[in-house]
Amino acid sequence: MQREKEIASDLLKSAGVEINGSNKYDIKVFNEGFYKRVLAQGSLGLGESYMDNWWECEDLDEFFNRVLHARLETKIRNWKILPYLAKAIILNTGNYKRAFFIGKQHYDIGNNLYKAMLDKRMVYTCGYWKTANTLGDAQEAKLDLICKKVGLRPGMKVLDIGCGWGSFAKFAAEKYGVEVVGVTVSKEQAELGSRLCNGLPVDIQLKDYRDIEGEFDAIVSIGMFEHVGYKNYRTYMKKVYSLLKDGGLFLLHTIGGNESSVATDPWINKYIFPNGLIPSVKQIGKSVENLMVIEDWHNFGTDYDKTLMHWFNNFDSNWNKLKSDYDDRFYRMWKYYLLASAGSFRARKNQLWQIVLSKHPSGGYRRIC
């Protein structure tokens, strides 16, 4: 036990973090089994031991910023990740049969949770903070930026792949006078989104992207590509190509990684986003090769840190209203998810990309930002 403690202490010190130290980003260990568990299980052991209240940290987001910036995850010999890698390589975890699993496991866990955490439009993707001072303003700025980037005009027919609770569809219909078809794999999102968009030319459907039919002047996908899976990237892009009118624009809004991978973090996969995967520049580029033209690639990943901190503060301040539906272990799990994610963007391990692509371009694309 002492040997494991010394190894863990040395690793954390290399990231500027101390065990039972005085800084807010230092960790307090309550169970001595923590060291062996984390060294043996890596990120899965770290997350599960936090959920089990084996350790605590006052500024969890800054702890992760320091740990990820120091790349400590590469210094722990973690055999627990091998089954996840094997599963990702052998199976197609984003195939049609598994398409609705993420909806049930993540997005259907309670609309009240998301209402309490998100802005009034219920936008569950990164805000755009360039000129914004509040979460609501940042989300509206992001939605407006997307509308401008794809050149929305009254009367256009627009597709939103992964529409969530209809935030983009509602905004685009109200502000730009367009007709929107939105698809989601979440039953809860489809039902609430349809009510929120009632009276507007918006049609929200419970449907996998592979089943979409029709022809659209513009297509957007905001925070959905992370659920597609690397084996399906080309299939996804071909589907978009088939649905987009010649000369139309497609905007892909996605979290991005600095290196290519075939499997996500084990803790995130088990508790938050099953079968998810963050794409790389190389993987996205290969998926659109000889298919569509990349017109613009915009990175504002640092804005996700600020967005996630607002989400956590909303979640935390509303916990008393939510805890009758969730237990304390869920609170620690959700807190860990939001603050670890904030730390990952602060450390620049993860990025946020908006990519504009064109089909049979005419050469008239005008960059907005």
Query: What is the CB neighbour count within 10 angstroms for residue 337?
Result: 20
- Of residues 78 and 173, the one with the higher pLDDT is 173
Quick count: other Cβ atoms within 10 Å of Cβ 277?
A: 26
Burial code (b: 16+ CB inside 10 Å, e: under 16) for 119-152 equals bebbbbbbbbbeebeebbebbbbbbbbbbebbbb
| Cβ atoms of 114 and 165 closer than 8 Å | yes
Q: Which helix (H) or strand (E) holds 356?
A: strand 350-358
User: C-alpha distances in angstroms, 25 versus 36, 72, 84, 114, 167?
Assistant: 21, 15, 30, 27, 35
Q: What are the structural domain ranges in the chain?
A: 2-77, 97-358
Helix (H/G/I), strand (E/B), else coil: 29: strand
The dihedral sign for the CA sequence 347, 349, 352, 358: positive
Structure tokens at 220: 């957007």
Residue 92, pLDDT above cutoff 80: no
Q: What is the pLDDT of residues 130-140, one digit of tens each?
A: 999 999 999 99
Question: 159: part of which helix (H) or strand (E)?
Answer: strand 157-161
Neighbours of 174 (CB within 10 A): 12
Compute the distance between CA of residue 261 and CA of residue 363 in angstroms, rounded to an integer. 34
Q: Please answer whether residues 8 and 35 qualify as being in contact, where contact means their C-beta atoms are separated by less than 8 angstroms.
A: yes
What is the C-alpha separation between 122 and 120, in angstroms, rounded? 5
Mean predicted confidence (pLDDT) in 318-336 = 97
Q: Taking residues 287-315, what's their average pLDDT?
A: 97
Structure tokens at 6: 């010394």
Give the strands of the sheet with 179-184, arranged side by side: 202-206, 179-184, 157-161, 216-222, 244-257, 350-358, 293-299
Tokens coding 285: 């580029």
Q: With a cut of 50, say whether residue 90 has pLDDT above it.
A: no
Average the pLDDT over 210-231 and give the result: 96
Report yes or no: 38 and 8 within 8 Å, Cβ to Cβ: yes
Give the tokens for residue 368.
């907005």
pLDDT tops 90 at residue 121: yes
Which residue is it, tokens 């290399």? 14
Tokens of 183: 């698809």
The neighbour count for residue 208, using CB atoms within 10 Å, is 16
pLDDT in tens, 236-262: 999 999 999 999 999 999 999 999 988
Residue 78 has pLDDT above 60, yes or no: no
Q: Which two structure tokens, joined as six digits, stand for 247?
A: 């000369």
Structure confidence at residue 149 (pLDDT): 97
CA angle, residues 242, 247, 250, in degrees to nearest 5: 60
**pLDDT, tens digit, 9 for 90 and up, residues 21-72:** 999 999 999 999 999 998 888 889 999 999 999 999 999 999 999 999 888 7
pLDDT at 85: 36
Q: Which class would CATH give 97-358?
A: alpha beta
Query: SS3 for 319?
Result: helix
Q: Comparing C-alpha atoms, which of 231, 209, 229, 206 is closest to residue 220? A: 209
pLDDT of residue 363: 62
pLDDT for the residue 57: 97
Calculate the alpha carbon distances from 194 to 12, 105, 107 in Å: 48, 21, 15
Model pTM? 0.93
Lowest mean pLDDT among 66-70, 156-160, 297-301, 341-345: 66-70
Q: What is the pLDDT of residue 10?
A: 85
pLDDT surpasses 70 at 84? no
